[in-house]
Amino acid sequence: MFGASKAILGRTGTYWEDFWVSGLYWDELGGHFGSLGLYWEALWASTPILGGPLGSLKPYCDVLGYTGRTFRSLKPYWSIMGGLLGLLHPYWDEFWASTSVFGGRFALYHPTGSPPAPPSSHQSILVRTGSAEGAPPAVHAWEHRRAEAGEAAEAELAFTAQLLARDFSNFSAWHHRGRLLADGPLPPERLRQELELVQNAVFTDPQDQSAWVYLRCLLARATPPPRLLSLHADLEDGTLAAAFSRPVLVSPGSLEASLEDRPLPGPWRPADGRPRPSCFWLCPLPPGLATPPARLRVAWQRGPAHFVTLRPGRRPHPLFKSSAPGVFAWLRPLLTPPHPTGETEAWWQEPIEARELIWPEVGVSDPAVLSELAQACRELLELEPRSRGCLLTLSLLLGALGPREHGEELRRCLRCLQEADPLRRGFVADLASRAEVALELLREGAGLGELRLQDKALTSLPLLEHAALTTRLELAGNELGALPPGLGGLRRLQVLDVSRNRVRSLRGLPPLPRLEELRLDGNPISHASDLAPLAACPRLARLRLVGTPLAAAPEAAAQLDKLLPHVAVALA
């Protein structure tokens, strides 16, 4: 087979020679051309020299068959195949016969995105992708169908409706339908039609996931754009912190900050120190900042500007730096004289939007539509109480309607979902953690002060962007395996209690500039080196390690004294 293909394609030049010399060793091939993608682009550029009259194109069908059997799993194969098909219309029927080995795999891709196909190919491919016989077509065939359909979206929607009428579990048809709909929120009439189609599907087969996935995608088509949630300016740390509603990548000029109308030079960096999208971004303040008042202005992507102002005032006495008021709170006014530099920190925070906490991607804002869908889910659960798709969708709908009003029903749905879907227990546990954090945030209001999350069975710690101004975080008695890097965005955090969790190491924990007390009792921490990130916390004064394997080690005290010389460590 390889010999025949080599003979047929001998006129394609040095690209094929290099290809055959490589002996089909992919590493060597990648070394010659940088990547397989570059190789196929070079090969595509050489195909015009094949030449010859149309009547002599029969060998190309053989070429496609040979290379297809060899490279059927390689996406770049479709690129060169698409170009060859532009010359094959006299042999279209023979081509289908020679490529029957592909079955539902066949598709056309071209590097420019415009596959040059014979005039009759549209109908042929559409019939092939729409065939109800044999195995369903693969994703490449559906992609080609969307490219060929062009502006005929309504006809394609009718076609998918016919397929779904025969089989509601046709996930490819649901996906094709979703891709055909225009971007952005759907008009009310179109949304009603789509919801009726979904309702017919889920009541026909509540256990099938295809329609449920499509429904959740419908409701999340107009996801709100990211926006600023809070700002925090800290003179002692020399940092301006910004929290966003979801992870963003700050590029030069996208996040503008100025001090008294003078732009801050930056640069912005993620609070967790990782070069990737983040909810928390930090910008250094200029050294020797002028005596307050100092007005800072921040705007995201030329949106509305937000301000924080450092005003002249009183600096707290060292006796009251701890977040706990203590019994001497009445002495605070007497021991806090005016300070010439005024405030050392200032902040701004947007009120929490309850409907965005559980399901931030939801784009349907009409509560009547969401309530109607939630009621339909409740009715279906009476018939099929273990429908996984229904339980998950109802949980998200309850979160979008308001976690505080539907808290108990939300918890009950998530417990049932954990029992009904044991293979996704971790996913459901993380969703339950999100619900518990959301309920606590709403109970506390805007997230200032204390956030108490003891004994909530948390497996993750989401929504920290809404708790950026928290000073005391209680996480004892949960199932956390590590502290999230997002804690680096909590610039005002002073007391952190992570007792009785599953934390083995603090590696990756960013510096916390105001952290004074950390409790790690009962965690499986075995080595002092696992606590090394704490050396970057300048205010840390108290550390508890009671009940940890490290506390039982004879050399623990000496190692910790060397690592954290200014911290009072409790081992027993």
Residue 437, amino acid: V
pLDDT confidence tier of residue 224, bands split at 50, 70 and 90: confident
Instruction: Write down the pLDDT at residue 11.
Output: 39
In this structure, the answer to whether residues 264 and 284 fall within a common structural domain is yes
Phi, psi (rounded to 5 degrees) for 305: -85, 150
CA atoms of 497 and 103, how far apart (whole Å) = 59
CA distance linking residue 400 with residue 365, whole number of Å: 9
Verify that 287 and 383 share a domain, yes or no. no
Domain end point (choices 379, 409, 433): 433
Is residue 184 one of the residues assigned to a domain? no
| Whether residue 363 sits in one domain with residue 319 | no
- Among 246, 352, 225, 350, smallest CA distance to 298 is for 350
On whether residue 440 sits in a domain, the answer given is no
Question: Does 407 share its domain with 474?
Answer: no
**133, pLDDT greater than 50:** no
pTM of the model: 0.74
Residue where one domain finishes, among candidates 433, 464, 487: 433
Number of structural domains the chain divides into: 4
Tell me the average pLDDT across 37-51: 47
Q: Same domain, yes or no, for 487 and 551?
A: yes
423 in the same domain as 484: no
Q: How far apart are CA 160 and CA 175, in angstroms?
A: 10
CATH number of the domain enclosing 342:
2.60.40.1130
Phi, psi of 502 (to 5 degrees): -120, 30
Verify that 281 and 322 share a domain, yes or no.
yes
Residue 261 has pLDDT above 50, yes or no: yes
Listed range (253-262, 318-327, 339-348) with the worst mean pLDDT: 318-327
Answer yes or no: is 171 within a domain: no
- DSSP assignment of 134-191, as one string? SSPP-HHHHHHHHHHHTT-HHHHHHHHHHHHHH-TT-HHHHHHHHHHSPSSSPPHHHH
Other beta carbons less than 10 A from residue 33's beta carbon = 19
Residue 471 lies in a domain: yes
- Name which residue leads in pLDDT, 315 or 443: 443
Residue 157 falls inside a structural domain = no
Q: What is the mean pLDDT of the chain?
A: 77
Q: Are 18 and 96 part of one and the same domain?
A: yes
pLDDT band for 266, please (50, 70, 90 cuts).
confident
- Write out pLDDT tens, residues 395-430: 999 999 999 999 999 999 999 999 999 999 999 999
Q: Is 402 contained in some domain?
A: yes
Dihedral-angle region of residue 447 (phi above 0 means left; psi in -120 to 50 means alpha; beta otherwise): left
Tens digits of residue pLDDT in 75-84 = 455 555 555 5
Query: Which segments within 251-324 are labelled E, that is strand?
Result: 255-259, 262-263, 269-270, 278-284, 294-300, 305-310, 313-314
Please state the rounded mean pLDDT for residues 108-123: 40
- The tokens describing 449, both together, are 């002060």
Same domain for 11 and 143, yes or no, is yes
Is residue 214, in this structure, part of any structural domain at all? no
The phi and psi torsions of 243 (rounded to 5 degrees) equal -115, 135
* pLDDT value at 10 more than 50: no
pLDDT band per the 50, 70, 90 thresholds, residue 138: low
CA angle 251–257–260, rounded 5-degree value: 160
pLDDT, residue 150, reads 65
467 and 424 co-located in one domain: no
- Residue 56, pLDDT > 50, answer no
SS3 268: coil
Residue 324 has pLDDT above 50, yes or no: no
State the Cα–Cα distance between residues 116 and 82, nearest whole angstrom: 7
Is a pLDDT exceeding 90 seen at residue 345? Answer: no
pLDDT interval class at 465 (50, 70, 90): very high
Please check whether residue 515 is in contact with residue 537, taking contact to mean a CB–CB distance below 8 angstroms: yes
Q: Which residues pair with 544 in a beta bridge?
A: 519, 570
Phi first, then psi, for residue 234 (nearest 5°) are -130, 115
CATH code for the domain of 539 = 3.80.10.10
Q: Which two tokens stand for residue 229?
A: 């949630």
Give the number of other Cβ atoms within 10 Å of residue 182's Cβ.
10
Cα end-to-end span (Å), the chain: 75
Residue 352 DSSP one-character state = P
Q: What is the DSSP string of 12-74?
A: G-HHHHHHHHTTT-HHHHHHHHSSHHHHHHHHHHHGGGG---GGG-HHHHHHHHHHHHHHTT-
Contact indicator for 502, 526 with CB cutoff of 8 Å? no
Identify the domain boundary among 297, 332, 349: 349
In this structure, is residue 192 part of a structural domain?
Answer: no
* Parent domain of 139: 2-150
Neighbours of 76 (CB within 10 A): 19
Q: How confident is the model at residue 106 (pLDDT cuts 50, 70, 90)?
A: very low
So what's the pLDDT on residue 559?
94
Clarify whether residues 329 and 378 are in a common domain: no
Residues 9 and 132 in one domain: yes
